[in-house]
Amino acid sequence: MLLVLGGLGLHLRRRNLAAEKDQIRQLVRIVLARLKEQARKSRDPTGASQSYLIADYLRDEMLQDEHSLAIRQHIWKKVARIVQGNANVRTSLEETEEGEETQVWRWMGAL
Per-residue pLDDT of the chain (111 residues; tens, 9 = 90+): 655 555 656 656 677 778 899 999 999 999 999 999 999 999 888 877 889 999 999 999 999 999 999 999 999 999 999 999 999 999 999 988 889 999 999 999 998
In this prediction, residue 96 carries a pLDDT of: 82
- Per-residue pLDDT at 34: 97
| Integer Cα distance of 35 and 104 in angstroms | 10
Contact at 8 Å (CB) between 40 and 108?
A: no
Contacts of 66 (CB under 8 A, 6+ apart): 72, 75
How many residues are recorded in the chain?
A: 111
- What is residue 98's predicted lDDT score, i.e. its pLDDT? 86
